[in-house]
Amino acid sequence: MESATVSVGHGHADHHHGPPEANQSSRIDRQTLGILLFIVSEVMLFGAFFASYFFLRVVVDPASWPPEPYELPVAVAGMNTAILVSSSFTIHYALESIRRGNRAGLKLGLVATWLLGATFLFIQINEYVHLGFSARDLSFGSIFYSLTGLHGAHVFVGLLLLSFATIRAFRGHFGPKAEDHLGVEVPGIYWHFVDIMWIIVYVTVYIL
């Protein structure tokens, strides 16, 4: 028994070092599966915040929402929404470009997306400065800053991911084959998710 174990172990060591290869699905690559699972967990996180929002708005039931004398800058936030939605089009353009082998289009799309995302974040911070209420002002202030702040944090992370992808694009990484531009594909999926979440946050918090 002992000799058999030793001989198998010795033979194995001749050909392979380290742990065995991880099993991988033939339907989806591990990076895309990873971002899918991450997004599922993020949906649950946002779901918890939305549940708090609707609980405070419907169950606690204040006389008016937003409570007097607070007002939300619907038009400015609407313009910000348009900026973020357009950034989804630019990242899609970047990916379509690299799929066709157009590196200049990839760089242009990534830079445009980064600038639009940074503009969104800048306007969001500027909005916070001029709102006239803080997270300490009633449950309304708390949930408003929690929900929009949670989203803002996601935009910040998205900008970091886009920065890495843009630097790599300018260094000549990425190619037309699917496995050669996963470094843009995965941040692109994340960016679209952030965009979808903002559309829902905007309609829920500012419009309804």
Q: What residues make contact with other proteins under the rule CB under 8 A?
A: 28, 32, 36, 85, 88, 91-92, 95, 178, 185, 188-189, 192-193, 195-196, 199-200, 202-203, 207-208
Is the peptide bond prior to 73 cis by the omega test (within 30 degrees of 0)? no
- Nearest approach in angstroms of CB 4 to other proteins is 37
Radius of gyration of the chain (CA): 23
- Nearest approach in angstroms of CB 188 to other proteins is 4
User: What single letter denotes the amino acid at residue 35?
Assistant: I
Cβ proximity to other proteins: between 37 and 125 the closer is 37
- Nearest approach in angstroms of CB 85 to other proteins is 6
Grouping H, G, I as helix, E, B as strand and the rest as coil, residue 181 is coil
Cβ proximity to other proteins: between 31 and 135 the closer is 31
Residue closest to 164 by CA, chosen among 177, 186, 188, 183: 183
Residue closest to 88 by CA, chosen among 66, 57, 120, 59: 120
- Nearest approach in angstroms of CB 132 to other proteins is 22
Cβ proximity to other proteins: between 152 and 188 the closer is 188
Q: Kindly report the CA angle at 52 between 153 and 47, in degrees rounded to 5?
A: 60
| Cα distances (angstroms) measured from residue 144 to each of 49, 57, 63, 68 | 10, 11, 17, 15
- Nearest approach in angstroms of CB 86 to other proteins is 11
Cβ proximity to other proteins: between 28 and 153 the closer is 28
Cβ proximity to other proteins: between 65 and 128 the closer is 65
